[in-house]
Structure 1
Amino acid sequence: MKYVVGLLLALACLQAQATEEQTVVLISIDGFRHDYIELHGAPNIAKIAEQGVRSEGLIPVYPSKTFPNHISIVTGQYPSNHGIVDNNFYDTERKQRYKMGDGVKDSTWLTTLPIWNLAEFQGVKAATFFWPESEARINGRTPSYYFNYSTPAPNRQRIDQIVEWLKLPEAARPRLVTGYFSIVDTMGHRFGPESHQVAKAVKHVDELIGELWQRIHDETEVPVNLILVSDHGMSQITAKDMIDVKELNIDEELFEIVNASTRLMIYPKEDVSADQIQQLEQRLKQKQGNFVIESEQQLAQLGVTDGPRKPAIVLGTTAPATFTTRPEEQRKDGGTHGFHSSRDMDGLFVAAGPAIQQGTQINRFSNIHIYPFMAKLLELELMTEIDGDAEVLTPIIR
């Protein structure tokens, strides 16, 4: 009889939690490859995954770069639709270059509705402790609470602040919180994905995530669903395989060139004819070997649509090759991302909390589906067209 009563009480508690307004804490660990939990040892993240859901990988949008993917995660859109098509790019109509974070100074670079806007427009407070472009005044609005991006901000301070936000009185408390850690990506670039420096960074972030999860349970009384993601994985690159951009002999009087490391983007300047573009393309085709010219069909399949931010010619590489403008003596082995989707480029997805299924593993999926998933957890109505599909992650909601 005691067992039955206890079971009924537990079920009643679960039902109450399910009907309560849910809170979402979204944490990005930049550059955390899908297999780092086992490869480098992340026991706290592994434990959270056992208590909730883990995917076999999180497929980045093209290109697998930091800013396009972070914006896709919080908008459910491909880069061509949210506006940030690479970390750095050129716009032929504006005749301007975008570089990471320019949306803070001029939010018209972003043509989208991020999850914190969606929440605020529907009366749900949001807070961001770093997320690419989260302090930009998009659609005339910022999150209720945010920090201007500053790399030196101590990682533990971010955990402390997230917990403090969750402990605020109900009227002031955000139900959507984002956080961001860059150290794993930084070490991956410098030393390569399998280095001991990356292992050390993974362990550091794992300790912080474990502390956050424990403090959420010990110090807060709200139903928090923790979602851990990364924007991309990491591949090993080598100095000997780097391609010197200067040796391609592209006329910079006629073309804007943006070196994105794993791909080279070539934009025609004003008055450059279609014949001149075709002549350059034909000449570059003769040089193909350790790079290829991305076809229109291939780009379309990756969600790239026509517009002023789409290069006329895109040269792509595969690991361990990259483009460089550095002299040979300054080139170093290391790691990078931005390549076409592959297992090395797959990121992390782990979710746990009162609204999430327990002990579940799912197939790899595209990160554009996280936005409608979060909207569903927060009971928000979508207000714009998106590329993501809410049905992809609906089965993991309990």
Structure 2
Amino acid sequence: MRYFGAIFLTLFVTGVATANTAQPNSEQTVVLISIDGFRHDYIELHGAPNIAKIAQQGIRAEGLIPVYPSKTFPNHLSIVTGQYPSNHGIVDNNFYDTERKQHYKMGDGVQDSTWLTTLPIWNLAEFQGVKAATFFWPESEARINGRTASYYYKYSTPTPNRQRIDQIVQWLKLPKAARPRLVTGYFSVVDTMGHRFGPEAPQVGKAVQHVDQLIGELWQRLQTEVDEPVNLILVSDHGMSQIKAEAMIDYSAFNIDEQLFEVVNGATRLMIYAHESTTTEQINVLKQRLQAAKNGQYWLETEAQLAQLGVTETARKPAIILGTKAPAIFTSRPPEKRKDGGTHGYHSNRDMDGIFIAAGPAIKAKAPLQRFSNIHIYPFMAQLLGLELLSPIDGDAKVLAPLLKQD
């Protein structure tokens, strides 16, 4: 665990968010837990009674809509920044930047935080005198805007899940001057089993029940061991769809000229970046060839569709994006090495929906809540913590503001 004292930093911002944050009724604490790959229906499908009970005491959305693409790193950053990936910088788990002429892979922000162009919720809190702690969250180790949360752990997959619960409770029992009022936690096991076996497999059920037991324990300990009022928010970055080996698309058969293009396979989408010397005519020729060969297996994303999904012109936007739907993915593996399983990253649909559950002293119980985009969680947390928004965001505080109790 690392600890960093206060760092004085001047923030230069180009605008302000359109929605003002509301002051909470009293000083509140927020614990934000992400269960990676926990689909919106897993509570019933696999049996998660503790999470269901927490939802009954608070609120549960019909689903949490991921940003495009519905991948782990873009969505975790959107949840804690209120921005679309084009704005926070992490546009996929792996991508290429045509200006930097560099590839990004998951976690590269730890060594080079310039990959991120954003203000995560733990920095927003720290800049306003509210201590924050992160027990894992994608890119939470990165020194964004010159600092990290006051407390954080370097990501390590083997770290026991129970240790995460114990540490969260220990942080919340610190003396007031040292205690964080924002804590994040992260569990990956449900996503791992979903990829390996598919969303309806019994192995996924066991993972769901394991995390459910831990969340139940955390909720109980927040009530009995922590003196301060704590609001628990449970989210997931995306859901999961079944994939089939027989439906996989061999993109090596496209014979894309590597002298002209950089290709990054995102499984559910193929990203084709033009090199600096590649002409518009050469891009159009490739588009026409791919269009003619698609045979119902994939499609070429249009500019209009990408704009609707929040994709804007940056050096990380591919010249051509091929999209597909479950049970297909793009692959270069030979047929004998392809396996059925599960994945995510597709356009928004019910299989891609995650969960949003919130309960605590500042949350209205049993309020009806339709599915909504995860970009609205950031201003909601800022309201709970009494923080002012310091930079432009895509989320809107008005979406979840009705969930807060008023004086």
TM tier relative to shorter chain: over 0.9
- SS across alignment from 1:19: coil
**Cα deviation digits, residues 111-160 of structure 1 (max 9, x gap):** 00000000000000000000000010000010000000100000000000
User: What is the correspondence of 1:170-185 to structure 2 with a 5 Å cutoff?
Assistant: 170-185=176-191
- Equivalent residue for 2:12? none
**Cα deviation digits, residues 239-260 of structure 1 (max 9, x gap):** 0000001111111121100000
Q: Is the 8 A contact 1:88 1:260 kept in 2?
A: yes
**Cα deviation digits, residues 279-298 of structure 1 (max 9, x gap):** 00000000112100000000
Q: Work out the CA distance in 1 between the residues paired with 2:25 and 2:92.
A: 40
Aligned-residue CA RMSD (Å): 0.6
**Cα deviation digits, residues 26-75 of structure 1 (max 9, x gap):** 00000000000000000000000000000000000000000000000000
User: What is the correspondence of 1:88-167 to structure 2 with a 5 Å cutoff?
Assistant: 88-167=94-173
Q: Aligned partner of 2:380: which letter?
A: F
- Equivalent residue for 1:276? 282
Q: Work out the CA distance in 2 between the residues paired with 1:287 and 1:384.
A: 44
- Equivalent residue for 1:233? 239
* 2:315 matches 1:308: yes
* 2:344 matches 1:337: yes
User: What is the correspondence of 1:39-118 to structure 2 with a 5 Å cutoff?
Assistant: 39-118=45-124
- SS across alignment from 2:78: helix
User: What is the correspondence of 1:303-382 to structure 2 with a 5 Å cutoff?
Assistant: 303-382=310-389
Within the candidate set 232, 236, 248, 2:254 is matched to: 248
- Equivalent residue for 2:272? 266
- SS across alignment from 1:283: helix
* 2:192 matches 1:190: no
- SS across alignment from 2:293: coil
Q: Aligned partner of 1:304: which letter?
A: V
Q: Aligned partner of 1:51: which letter?
A: Q
* 2:306 matches 1:286: no
- If the length of structure 1 is used for normalisation, what is the TM-score? 0.95
Q: Aligned partner of 1:299: which letter?
A: L
- SS across alignment from 2:252: helix
- SS across alignment from 1:197: helix
**Cα deviation digits, residues 344-363 of structure 1 (max 9, x gap):** 00000000000001123310
- If the length of structure 2 is used for normalisation, what is the TM-score? 0.93
Q: Work out the CA distance in 1 between the residues paired with 2:303 and 2:47.
A: 41
- Greater helix proportion: 1
- SS across alignment from 2:145: coil
- Per-residue deviation, 1:307: 1.0
Q: Work out the CA distance in 2 between the residues paired with 1:308 and 1:188.
A: 32
* 2:303 matches 1:296: yes
- SS across alignment from 2:175: coil
Q: Work out the CA distance in 2 between the residues paired with 1:47 and 1:361.
A: 16
- SS across alignment from 1:361: coil
Q: Aligned partner of 1:195: which letter?
A: A
Q: Work out the CA distance in 2 between the residues paired with 1:46 and 1:361.
A: 15
Q: Aligned partner of 2:171: which letter?
A: W
Q: Work out the CA distance in 2 between the residues paired with 1:331 and 1:160.
A: 39
Q: Aligned partner of 2:28: which letter?
A: Q
- Per-residue deviation, 1:270: 2.0
- Per-residue deviation, 1:20: 2.5
| Unpaired segments ≥5 residues, structure 1 | 1-17
Is the deviation greater in 123-132 or in 247-256? 247-256
What number of residue pairs does the alignment pair up?
381
Poorly superposed stretches of 4+, deviation over 4 Å: none
User: What is the correspondence of 1:202-241 to structure 2 with a 5 Å cutoff?
Assistant: 202-241=208-247
- Per-residue deviation, 1:310: 0.1
Q: Is the 8 A contact 1:81 1:112 kept in 2?
A: yes
Q: Aligned partner of 2:71: which letter?
A: K
- SS across alignment from 2:221: helix
Q: Work out the CA distance in 1 between the residues paired with 2:187 and 2:362.
A: 25
Q: Is the 8 A contact 1:24 1:227 kept in 2?
A: yes
**Cα deviation digits, residues 312-341 of structure 1 (max 9, x gap):** 000000000100011111100000000000
- SS across alignment from 1:225: strand
* 2:399 matches 1:383: no
Q: Aligned partner of 1:278: which letter?
A: N
- Per-residue deviation, 1:212: 0.2
Q: Work out the CA distance in 2 between the residues paired with 1:384 and 1:19.
A: 24
- SS across alignment from 1:28: strand
